[in-house]
Structures are given as structure tokens and as C-alpha cells.
């Protein structure tokens, strides 16, 4: 088997594994996935909003999930680690799932989109963009964007500071794609310049000068006195 075919099969396995874990952890709030190969096996890190639902009583559910992953995807000694998402409003995957659930409950897409953007910006994000695509109001496909703050579309800032999430809302007219982009609060953009103000400048060090001695006045002689002007 060639190296290219191995890479393609590995990426396909990761995509299928992510889809499977999204379905299994839907009730717990799937927030992200990280797959790392170690000498001891394959470590799968799941980020969830409610990890207790995924772990189960005494870890029974997580053990069953580990066995299913090993049987379905033939991973070498899979080890699942569950982490809790401390800031769910800043997780793009979680917010896309919540927005999709809101649309499935019957909310109007404009109201749901603006509400999601407002919630993300109130959590402290520097920027947010929500893209809804599908049959939103009629039979024709359309795309709507809701944006606030600063969003980058290319360059290094996208890879470092932009968090992306995608989910599908299944409605009667058809599926609606939900894309959420969030710029993290700690983002430092390369085009931002900080100018130090007067308060930030270092204060000058005071220099003590020696005291000036007073010179006594010398009286003028008669030959140096100014003549009387008539």
C-alpha cells in the first residue's frame, strides 16, 4: 500500500470517527475532538459541555463507547479522555449545535442567528460570524450571514485565533447548514499597533543641582557713576 493511500484511509477513518462520536455524544454537548497516536495506543480526547452524561455511572458508558470504537474503527488500544468545556459560549461547535437545535424547535432563522451572535459577543469574543445555508423561507436555496466584531478569512490569524464549527439542522423543507466562526478573546492580530501614551512613558529622574551662591553688590565709584541727564 502506497503512502498516499495510507494517508487517505487515515483521514477517512478520522472523519467517520468524528461523525460517530458526534451522534453518540449529542446529549452531552459535543464540543470538539482530538486524536493523538501515542506509544501506548490511540488517545481520543472529547470536549463536552456535560461530561457526566457521556461517562455514565462508574464509567460504564465510556467503557462501552471505547469497545465500540475499537470494534468499528480498529484503533490500536483506544483510550478516551473526556474534558469539560468551561466556556461553552466561545466553542464554535457547541454554538452551531445549539443554533441547529433552536431552528429545529421552530425559531425564525433571523431571530436565532442574531440571538446566537449576541450571546457569543457577550461572552467576550472579539468577533463572530454565523452562516445559514439551505431552504430558509421557500423552495429556493439561499445563504444568510450574521456578523459582529472582527473576523479574518485568510492568513495565519485564521489558523491561530479562529474557531470553526459546523452542524446540520434537519427541518421538513430540508437540511440547513449551520457554520459558526468565533475569534477568541485572546487574539492578537498582526496589524494591531500599540502606541504608548504619556502615562506609559518612563518618568525622568530628578537631578539635584548645587545651590547658587549669592554675590554681594559692589558700590560704583564716582568715575563709574552715570552722569546726570538734564
pLDDT number for residue 34: 86
Q: Which CATH number fits domain 3-84: 3.30.300.20, 3.40.50.740, 3.90.740.10, 1.10.10.10?
A: 3.30.300.20
User: What are the structural domain ranges in the chain?
Assistant: 3-84, 88-183
Cβ atoms 184, 125 nearer than 8 A: yes
**Strand-pair partners of 4:** none
Which residues does the chain have with pLDDT short of 50? none
pLDDT number for residue 94: 92
pLDDT number for residue 222: 59
Cβ atoms 148, 128 nearer than 8 A: yes
Hey, do 3-84 and 88-183 end up sharing a CATH topology, with the first three levels equal? no
- Class assignment of domain 88-183? alpha beta
pLDDT number for residue 144: 94
Instruction: Specify the 3-state DSSP secondary structure of 216.
Output: coil
pLDDT number for residue 113: 94
Q: Report the alpha-carbon distance of residue 44 to residue 65 in Å, rounded.
A: 11
pLDDT number for residue 134: 93
The sign of the dihedral angle between the CA atoms of 12, 14, 20, 23 is negative
Closest CA to 88 of 60, 43, 50: 50
Amino acid at each position: 500500500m502506497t503512502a498516499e493511500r495510507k494517508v487517505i484511509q487515515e483521514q477517512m477513518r478520522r472523519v467517520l470517527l468524528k461523525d460517530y462520536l458526534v451522534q453518540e455524544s449529542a446529549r452531552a454537548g459535543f464540543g470538539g475532538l482530538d486524536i493523538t497516536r501515542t506509544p501506548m495506543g490511540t488517545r481520543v480526547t472529547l470536549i463536552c459541555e456535560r461530561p457526566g452524561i457521556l461517562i455514565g455511572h462508574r464509567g460504564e458508558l465510556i467503557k462501552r463507547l471505547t469497545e465500540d470504537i475499537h470494534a468499528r474503527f480498529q484503533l490500536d488500544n483506544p483510550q478516551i479522555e473526556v474534558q469539560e468545556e468551561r466556556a461553552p459560549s466561545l466553542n464554535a461547535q457547541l454554538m452551531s449545535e445549539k443554533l441547529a437545535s433552536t431552528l429545529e424547535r421552530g425559531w425564525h432563522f433571523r431571530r436565532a442567528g442574531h440571538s446566537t451572535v449576541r450571546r457569543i459577543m457577550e461572552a467576550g469574543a472579539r468577533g463572530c460570524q454565523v452562516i445559514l445555508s439551505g431552504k430558509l423561507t421557500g423552495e429556493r436555496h439561499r445563504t444568510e450571514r450574521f456578523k459582529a466584531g472582527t473576523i479574518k478569512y485568510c492568513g495565519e490569524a485564521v489558523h491561530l485565533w479562529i474557531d470553526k464549527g459546523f452542524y446540520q439542522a434537519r427541518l421538513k423543507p430540508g437540511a440547513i447548514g449551520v457554520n459558526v466562526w468565533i475569534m477568541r478573546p485572546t487574539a492578537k492580530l498582526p496589524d494591531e499597533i500599540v502606541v504608548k501614551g504619556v502615562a506609559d512613558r518612563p518618568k525622568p529622574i530628578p537631578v539635584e543641582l548645587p545651590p547658587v551662591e549669592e554675590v554681594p553688590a559692589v558700590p560704583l565709584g564716582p568715575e563709574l557713576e552715570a552722569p546726570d541727564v538734564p
